[in-house]
Amino acid sequence: MAAKLKQQKIVDAQNVDALMKEYICELNTCPNKRGFCFKVDGVHLKVFPQHLNTWSIGINNDEASIENPPMDLAKMFMPSKSGQLNPFRENVQKSSTPNIAHGSLPQSTPTLGPFQGYRLPPPYFYPPYGMSTPHSQSLHMTAPPDSHAGLTLISAVYLLFLKAKGVKN
C-alpha cells in the first residue's frame, strides 16, 4: 500500500520541474523575485510549491497544460504586489478575458461552493454605557441614573439589616 502511494506521488509531481523552470520569477522589481510567478495582464501572481504540485496533477488529468493552470487554481493565486488584483477572480470587473503571457485559459462555468453565499457575523458588539442588552437585564441589576446608586443601595440594605437586628440609628 505504501509503495503504491509513493508511486502515485511521483506520478503527480512529474511536471513540477518543468513548471519551476517556466515560472521562476527573475524580475528585479517583483516582490516575489526568485519565487514562482504566473504573469497575467502585467500582474505577477504568486505560485507556491503546493500550487505547482496541484498544477502538475491537473496536467496529468488533462485539465491544464504547462502554459495554463487549472482555472480553479488560477483563481487562488495571490498578486505579489499589494493593491493589485487577480484577474481570474469573479469580483474583479473586467471588460475582457485576461491577457495571459503564455496562452489562454479555457473558459469554464463558475461553480458555487457550499459557503459562497455565507456572510460572516459582525464583530462583537458592545453597547454604549447606559444602554442595556436584553440578556444583561436578566443577569444584572440595573442601577438608577444617580452616580451614588451603589452606595444608596448598600446603605438601604445595611439599614434593613440593622432594623432586622433591632438596632436603632
User: What are the residue ranges spanned by the domains of the chain?
Assistant: 8-79
| Predicted confidence band of residue 36 (pLDDT cuts 50, 70, 90) | very high
Tell me the pLDDT tens digit for each residue of 7-24.
888 888 899 999 999 999
Euclidean distance between CA atoms 143 and 153, whole angstroms = 9
- Cα 169 to Cα 25, 55, 152: the distances in Å are 88, 87, 16
| Predicted confidence band of residue 138 (pLDDT cuts 50, 70, 90) | very low
